[in-house]
């Protein structure tokens, strides 16, 4: 009997979300989620007890900047997010986006329902993060038995094969996915049965286009301060920051096509000129990191094949996806690793590819279990030995002002780790966990990059080789003590 299953794939991204559906063996159909684009902003805006998403959320962001979240995916490890006058479970924020996308897809397709909903995710995501994504889909109205998850690299690989790039059995390909919030690299080998196996991988859940934006924002504020210190202060107003961040993003994208771009300074009647050479100098450390991740993934794949007595074979083709991969410097750097190739719009490749091979899709064994609760008598989770502590979400341009945390010291929840200068003023980074501090990477003047790890807090005997397996936990943001009481500020 012909396969006539109706599948929807949602690529929930850090900055943008895309979706496509497929009926049976037909062509994947991209769902237009914005008036002028196929993808929609992943943003949410808290309007009282309801959530608006996408373009509607972006339009409302200036009314109450504190009720707007541009990148809910980046907050997935936080549990709750404060928007407006209340705290929202992060699953609710994600669910609001997934609900909107599902309804838009049904309206576009004319179908009464989908038989399954496939959610793509970065390859390096932990099971905990994938579980949050599945629970969010349930809150959006998708039945547990309908939910599937698929890695973004496998989805991209199948899309490239579907579009005519033949990969013979035993051959390898590299998928480089550089989005707004993550960088994922996977080396895949085509097996005799036609499937792909990941034989080498690398990635960073906190490296992406947002880092480029933050570096550009810092440059704009520094340049504005040289022109007029009062202008720089006005640009730090929360509502103005949102407009400026959008102008910075537009300039960044323009520099992929032009040698220079202007950045308009909101409510200032002037703009700054940025050349591609200046921009590339700013982002080179991030691009170097992404390239090194790619080399590491290829080296891992080589080692796997060597241990099996196999030869790595010819030079790899590196297939790029994700909006940040469109930047010329990124593609130039990757050319030192392999031949760079791109097919179609990088923002929708994964959404289409996730529909193309059901045998590579994960079906969670606990799909039929409820979101919360556990059978009576089920032992609780073992306490974790520690956490990697990350910078919380703050406005672009924030920097470290003072450091009080040091290796080997014991801190309790709420104790000050550092003081930062943010667009909204000076505030304290407070410990979210009781324990001993390890591996502090803080220095005055350093840029604050939300999601970046700056310390580990845990057991006194926590060894360095255990750090990488610890879950990330954002530091708390606390208000500063009154000016002049420096001891209270750092207590």
pLDDT tens readout for residues 381-408: 344 678 889 888 777 778 888 898 888 8
pLDDT for residue 41: 92
Q: What's the CA gap between 454 and 471, in Å, rounded? A: 13
pLDDT for residue 359: 40
φ and ψ of 354, to 5 deg: -65, -10
φ and ψ of 32, to 5 deg: -75, 115
φ and ψ of 458, to 5 deg: -175, -150
pLDDT for residue 481: 52
Eight-class DSSP state of 110: -
Query: What is the DSSP track for 275-319?
Result: EHHHHHHHHHHHHHHHHHHHHHHHHHHHHHHHHTT----SPPEEE
pLDDT for residue 391: 87
pLDDT for residue 314: 67
pLDDT tens readout for residues 403-457: 988 888 888 888 999 999 877 788 999 998 888 899 898 888 878 877 778 899 9
pLDDT for residue 80: 86
pLDDT for residue 3: 56
- Asked if residue 440 lies in contact with residue 418, where contact means CB atoms within 8 angstroms, the answer is no
pLDDT for residue 365: 46
Give the residue among 106, 116, 104 at the shortest CA–CA distance from 53: 104
Q: What is the pTM for the complete model shown?
A: 0.69
- List beta partners, residue 103: none
Q: What's the CA gap between 252 and 240, in Å, rounded? A: 18
Strand order in the sheet with 196-204: 196-204, 183-190, 172-178, 317-321, 339-341
pLDDT for residue 316: 86
Q: Point out the residues of the chain with pLDDT beneath 50.
A: 1, 359, 365-383, 482-491
């Amino acid at each position: 009997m012909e396969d006539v299953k109706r599948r929807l794939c949602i690529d929930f991204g850090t900055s943008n979300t895309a979706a496509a559906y497929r009926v049976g063996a037909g062509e994947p159909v991209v769902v237009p989620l914005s008036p002028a684009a196929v993808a929609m902003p992943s943003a949410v805006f808290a309007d009282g007890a309801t959530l608006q998403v996408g373009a509607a959320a972006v339009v409302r962001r200036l009314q109450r900047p504190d009720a707007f979240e541009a990148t809910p995916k980046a907050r997935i490890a936080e549990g709750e997010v404060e928007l407006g006058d209340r705290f929202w479970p992060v699953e609710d924020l994600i669910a609001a986006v997934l609900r909107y996308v599902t309804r838009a897809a049904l309206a576009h397709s004319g179908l009464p329902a989908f038989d399954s909903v496939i959610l793509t995710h970065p390859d390096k995501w932990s099971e905990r993060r994938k579980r949050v994504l599945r629970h969010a889909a349930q809150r959006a109205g998708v039945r547990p038995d309908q939910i599937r998850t698929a890695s973004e690299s496998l989805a991209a690989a199948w899309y490239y094969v579907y579009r005519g790039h033949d990969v013979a059995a035993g051959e390898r390909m590299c998928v480089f996915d550089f989005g707004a919030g993550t960088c994922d690299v996977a080396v895949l080998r085509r097996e005799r049965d036609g499937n792909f196996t990941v034989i080498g991988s690398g990635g960073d859940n906190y490296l992406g286009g947002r880092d480029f934006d933050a570096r550009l924002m810092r440059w704009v504020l520094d340049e504005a301060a040289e022109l007029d210190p009062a202008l720089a202060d006005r640009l730090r107003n929360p509502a103005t920051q949102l407009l400026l961040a959008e102008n910075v993003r537009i300039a960044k994208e323009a520099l992929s096509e032009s040698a220079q771009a202007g950045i308009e300074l909101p409510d200032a009647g002037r703009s700054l000129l940025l050349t591609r050479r200046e921009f590339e100098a700013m982002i080179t450390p991030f691009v170097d990191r992404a390239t090194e991740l790619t080399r590491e993934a290829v080296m891992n794949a080589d080692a796997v094949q060597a241990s099996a007595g196999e030869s790595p074979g010819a030079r790899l083709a590196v297939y790029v996806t994700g909006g940040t991969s469109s930047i010329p410097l990124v593609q130039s750097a990757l050319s030192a690793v392999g031949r760079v190739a791109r097919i179609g719009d990088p923002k929708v490749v994964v959404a289409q590819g996730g529909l193309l091979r059901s045998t590579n899709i994960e079906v969670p064994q606990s799909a039929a279990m409820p979101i919360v609760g556990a059978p009576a008598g089920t032992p609780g989770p073992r306490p974790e030995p520690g956490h990697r502590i990350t910078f919380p979400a703050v406005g672009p341009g924030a920097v470290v002002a003072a450091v009080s945390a040091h290796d080997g010291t014991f801190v309790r929840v709420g104790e000050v780790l550092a003081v930062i200068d943010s667009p909204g003023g000076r505030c304290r980074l407070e410990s979210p966990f009781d324990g001993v501090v390890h591996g502090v990477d803080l220095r005055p003047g350093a840029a604050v990059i939300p999601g970046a790890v700056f310390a580990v807090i845990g057991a006194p005997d926590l060894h360095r080789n255990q750090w990488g397996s610890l879950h990330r936990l954002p530091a708390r943001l606390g208000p500063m003590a009154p000016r002049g009481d420096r001891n209270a500020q750092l207590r």
